[in-house]
Chain A
């Protein structure tokens, strides 16, 4: 786990400075959800949502 944490601590900075995660676009209001998510999850308005990522 320590090996993975060291990797993630470095990679998070790399990803934050890169373009792959579309962070600038997201901050500007882009909806980053894929059509798959929107279609299969449906309307989540007013729901309490817990999102998990790595």
Chain B
């Protein structure tokens, strides 16, 4: 892929939790960047935070943009914010859908997935306990995908509620920056 795209980059495919077995580069990165629909696939954020810190240089930073956990509690098919999922539960959430979040009209053979909603407290605790300092935390009225009904895409390719009043009601995404302190864990 690097050759095809003429990129000075290395692409790896790995289970995140075993990435240190595949990528021997502790403390070598200025930035770890993660975005848009990632941690919902992870059952445990404590090792996630440790692995981020593991790869950052001292003074390097982690940037993270993700669906807001408060948004994830609502039924994605309900236009009036009907609660559909727990905020605090650590149990996996089973979903059955014939399409995908990006190709809603697809007809999949494998239709089941399991995901996890992670409260903000769990996210912050995972990063802080790994030795990261939170530089900023922002909440947003837009989302990178059509996470709830009645949304429209803007010129910036981000999705917002068509109803301007709805935009004031709940956060759809958050972003944060966190800097690594101290020695490589």
B28 within 8 A of partner (CB) = yes
State which of B37, B65, B108, B177 has its C-beta within 8 Å of the C-beta of A10: B108
Q: Which chain B residues border A21 with CB–CB below 8 Å?
A: 102
Q: Is B112 part of the contact surface with A, judged by Cβ < 8 Å?
A: yes
Contacts of B36 in A (CB 8 A): 53
B63, CB-defined interface residue at 8 Å: yes
A-chain residues with CB within 8 Å of residue B55 when the two chains form the complex = 50
B89 within 8 Å of A by Cβ?
Answer: no
For B, the interface residue count at a CB cutoff of 8 angstroms equals 39
Q: Does B157 contact A (CB under 8 A)?
A: yes
Decide: A41 and B156 in contact? CB cutoff 8 A.
no
Among A27, A35, A40, A48, find the residue whose CB has the most chain B CB atoms closer than 10 A.
Answer: A48
Q: Which of A3, A11, A20, A50 has the most CB of B within 10 A?
A: A50
| Structural contact, A54 and B158, CB atoms closer than 8 A | no
> Would you call A47 and B156 a contact (CB within 8 A)?
no
Is B29 in contact with A50, judged by CB distance below 8 angstroms? yes
Which of A7, A36, A51 contacts B175 (CB under 8 A)? A36
Residues of A within 8 A of B106 (CB): 11, 14, 18
Do the beta carbons of B33 and A10 come within 8 Å of each other?
A: no
Known interface pairs A14-B108, A52-B32; 20 further A-B residue pairs with C-beta atoms within 8 A, sorted by A's residue number: A3-B114, A6-B110, A7-B108, A15-B100, A18-B106, A27-B5, A34-B65, A34-B158, A40-B136, A40-B177, A41-B33, A48-B30, A48-B31, A49-B33, A50-B29, A50-B55, A51-B33, A52-B16, A52-B33, A52-B34
Pull 8 A–B residue pairs with CB atoms less than 8 Å apart, ordered by A: A4-B113, A15-B100, A34-B144, A44-B30, A48-B31, A48-B57, A50-B29, A52-B34
